[in-house]
Amino acid sequence: MKRLLLILILLSSAQPAYATPEIPSTFTFKGSGYGHGVGMSQIGAKGQALEGKSAQDILTYYFPGAAVTPVDNSQIIRVNVAHQVTAAVLTISSQANDCSFGLASEVQPIQQVVPNSKLTFTMIGKQVGVNAKAANQAPVPLSAASNWSISWTGTDCVVLLKVGTQTMKLKYGSITVRSVPITGKGYKIEVVNSMRLSDEYLYGISEVPSSWPMAALESQAIVSRTYALSRIKNVRKDCDCNVYSSKYDQVYIGYSKEAEPKYGVLWRNAVQATVVDTSTALAITYNGAPINVYFFSSSAGQTQRSIDVWGTDIPYLTSVPDPWSLDPKLNPKYANWVRVISQEQMAEVFGLPDVVSYSIALRSKTDSVMKITGISSSGKHKTISVSAFKVPLKIPSSWFDLPAKIVLPDSSTVVSN
């Protein structure tokens, strides 16, 4: 009996009560596509254009039930080109010798500024001060004001906006430089370029390469105009604008887009091709009104339904096949992609002390991830939305860890998890 007891004690001491799970140092994700997947696939638009489809064909394909029709194009759009900055410099291009350049504020009557002058705007308390410097002359300080306006006329005027190390070329409309209160940050400078929405704004949109087929460029121009129309009614207080110049609305780079060597003129021509006359231009409409439009780079072979991504069912934002996105020749970067995420990043995004594994908690009808669960070494589970997961980790799309699709002899398809 004593011998048996000793054996049992030795066995129990040799075997732990439970095995400590191994904590991986990295996690590897494989997927397809780039972006949210709702609306027009830009790679798909390129693929269809190469097949001979028109812009109207492409847009009515990706927005079923919608139409491409002429709409009023007389609006002026306010584009934020510098957000929450403390200083900005405006300079008339040296090539613009025939330009007339005017500066004014609520305390400063409009005055002419000679070509090649440099205007340096800086915050002074709650207002914006200006130093005006002509070539080979000392700077002249002007009275501070809360709102400055800059306008110009001439045949080929280009105004350079420099903020930090970044410079943007602006050619159209007018510019305002305004002091805006920012919660918790005091007063900051907002720089806004106002211009015609129909063409001048679109000339500076840089969402797709200008070398793409004309039908794809026209599709992007119409989509971008429609997007701007959906934002034109409201001026956002935080930016003094209708839209930002960044990817959070549409990427706007000013005159640099149409000034691209060789291809810039093609983008400008594509925009012009979507202008009907002096008062109307093409947009995507549903029941006679411009739609709430969305576009993205590429998918995993099928676009997303809006209800799966944002919880709202919109009839023209449904799912359609998008095989062009899976063509590595058309989509070399994102037809298939791999991302390696560190243990520290995974633990942080799930809010867990560590992550030993994860599981896909919910998928959409197009196999995109909607919810994902992280599991810690202690056994604790945490489920988060795919947006809360992929955005901080910079994962290209929600299509990852895709189920294997097996084609059976009778041509039916089953999904293997």
Environment class of residue 27 by beta-carbon count within 10 Å: exposed (0-12), middle (13-18) or buried (19+)?
middle
For residue 345, being part of any structural domain is answered with: yes
Which of 290, 312, 345 is the C-terminal boundary of a domain? 290
Domain of 25, in residue numbers: 19-37+301-417
Confidence of residue 333 (pLDDT cuts 50, 70, 90): very high
- Ranges of beta strands (E only) in 116-185 are 118-124, 127-133, 140-145, 147-153, 159-163, 166-170, 174-182
Q: Considering the chain, what is the average pLDDT of its residues?
A: 90
In this structure, are 185 and 322 located in the same domain? Answer: no
Which among 415, 312, 408 is positioned nearest to 365, based on CA atoms?
Answer: 415
pLDDT in tens, 154-166: 777 889 999 999 9
Number of domains in the chain: 2
Residues recorded for the chain? 417
Q: Are residues 256 and 318 in the same domain?
A: no
Q: Verify that 122 and 258 share a domain, yes or no.
A: yes
Cα–Cα distance, 227 to 244 (Å, whole number): 12
Does any domain span residue 53?
A: no
Same domain for 251 and 163: yes
Looking at the structure, tell me whether residues 278 and 307 fall in a common domain: no
d(CA 375, CA 321): 34
Q: Please give the C-alpha separations between residue 292 and each of 228, 232, 236, 299, 328, in angstroms, as whole numbers.
A: 10, 12, 18, 20, 30
326 shares a domain with 272: no
274 & 308 share domain: no
pLDDT of residue 412: 44
DSSP string, 253-276: -BHHHHTSTTTHHHHHHHHHHTB-
Sorting pLDDT into bands at 50, 70 and 90, what band is 347?
Answer: very high
Neighbours of 22 (CB within 10 A): 9
Residues 6+ apart with CB under 8 A from 67: 60, 284, 285, 286
**Residue bearing tokens 């988060």:** 384
Q: Are 323 and 367 found together in one domain?
A: yes
pLDDT confidence of residue 140: 81
Q: How far apart are the C-alpha atoms of 255 and 220, rounded to whole Å?
A: 18
Is 71 inside any structural domain? yes
The Cα–Cα gap between 304 and 298 comes to: 11
Beta-bridge partner residues of 34: 298
Pair (305, 283) in one structural domain: no
pLDDT at 116 over 90: no
The candidate with the shortest Cα–Cα distance to 259, out of 203, 218, 220, 212, is 203
How far apart are alpha carbons 247 and 57 in whole angstroms? 26
Q: Residue 46: inside a domain, yes or no?
A: no
Tell me whether residue 334 is in a domain: yes
| SS3 state of residue 15 | coil
The verdict on residue 295 lying in a domain is: no
Lowest-confidence region among 147-151, 183-187, 328-332 = 183-187
Same domain, 237 and 340: no
Strand ranges for 164-240 from DSSP E? 166-170, 174-182, 186-196
Summarised one tens digit per residue, pLDDT across range 197-242 is 999 999 999 999 999 999 999 999 999 999 999 999 889 988 889 9
Tell me the per-residue pLDDT of 246-264, one tens digit each, with 9 for 90 and over. 988 999 999 999 999 999 9
Q: What is the pTM of this model?
A: 0.88
Which residue, of 290, 317, 346, is where some domain finishes? Answer: 290
- pLDDT tens digits for range 295-307: 999 999 999 999 9
Average pLDDT over residues 53-81: 96
Q: Are residues 191 and 278 in the same domain?
A: yes
Residue in 48, 31, 40 with CA at minimum distance from that of residue 318: 40
